[in-house]
Amino acid sequence: MAQDPEQSVVALKRHEVDVAVIHRSPFEPQAAEPGVAERQLLRDELRLAVAREHPLASTRRASLESFADDAWVLAPRGTQAHALASRACRVAGFTPDAAYTTDNTLLALRLVAAGLGVALVPTLAVAGLSEQVALVSLDVPPARAVLVAWREDDDSEAVALIIDLMAREAKRVGKR
């Protein structure tokens, strides 16, 4: 089940799930919840998704402020994804013009492909990217830490195995 990290931790503490994959923004670091253990899996850089027809689509690397005048596709207010994108834009010296909001990365990429805006997207979320979308690396890329979380008091072999498998897969993915 896909949820915002805060919701995932709540589900974990309620014993609705045994393991959760969460992410944390460097702009708004948070300590682990009491009773919850965490292990960082990898660092996931965000890249800017633009329509193929965008003037900067063929640029290998650009500054975030180069997109200050574009319409943006953002995650809804109150989510970590929105906070990360908004903060990255503020650090770059502008407030993004949110033309559309969605918490669905696939829908955000479809809006980008249609030329309706640009979007900051996690590198991990762009598998099978449409040919109508280009990814632009940023000079100073915002990134999020991707972590696995579990209840500290859960010493089951199954949870330990899942955490170990996730760490090995993250290491493999990180080498790409």
pLDDT single digits (tens) 45-69: 899 999 999 999 999 899 999 999 9
Q: Is 61 helix (H, G, I), strand (E, B) or coil?
A: strand
- Looking at residue 135, its pLDDT comes to 93
Same domain, 85 and 29: no
Same domain, 50 and 137: yes
The one-digit pLDDT tens for each residue of the chain (176 residues) are 456 667 888 899 999 999 999 888 776 667 778 899 999 999 988 999 999 999 999 998 999 999 999 999 999 998 888 988 999 999 999 999 999 999 998 999 999 999 999 999 988 887 777 889 999 999 988 888 899 999 999 999 999 999 999 999 988 876 55
- Looking at residue 24, its pLDDT comes to 84
Q: Say how far apart CA 45 and CA 140 lie, in whole Å.
A: 10
Q: Residue 157 belongs to a domain with what CATH number?
A: 3.40.190.10
Q: Provide the domain limits for residue 29.
A: 5-42+144-174
- Looking at residue 31, its pLDDT comes to 74
Amino acid 163 reads I
Residue with the two structure tokens 């010296």: 93
Q: Is 136 helix (H, G, I), strand (E, B) or coil?
A: strand
Same domain, 150 and 113: no
Four-residue CA torsion sign, 25, 30, 33, 39: positive
Which two structure tokens, joined as six digits, stand for 33? Answer: 């919840």
Q: Say how far apart CA 121 and CA 126 lie, in whole Å.
A: 7
pTM given for the model: 0.81
Name, in order, each residue with C-beta under 8 angstroms of 167's C-beta and a sequence gap of 6 or more: 39, 41, 148
- Looking at residue 143, its pLDDT comes to 87
Same domain, 74 and 149: no
pLDDT tens profile 68-92: 999 999 999 988 889 889 999 999 9
Same domain, 57 and 34: no
Q: Say how far apart CA 56 and CA 37 lie, in whole Å.
A: 42
Domain count, the chain: 2
Residue with the two structure tokens 């669905």: 104
Strand 143-151 versus strand 36-51 pairing type: antiparallel
- Looking at residue 29, its pLDDT comes to 62
Same domain, 82 and 21: no
Same domain, 84 and 107: yes
Same domain, 14 and 35: yes
Same domain, 78 and 129: yes
Same domain, 85 and 111: yes
- Looking at residue 175, its pLDDT comes to 55
Name the residue among 22, 20, 55, 13 with its Cα closest to residue 144: 22
Which two structure tokens, joined as six digits, stand for 163? Answer: 């955490």
Same domain, 69 and 153: no
Same domain, 84 and 33: no
Residue with the two structure tokens 């897969």: 169
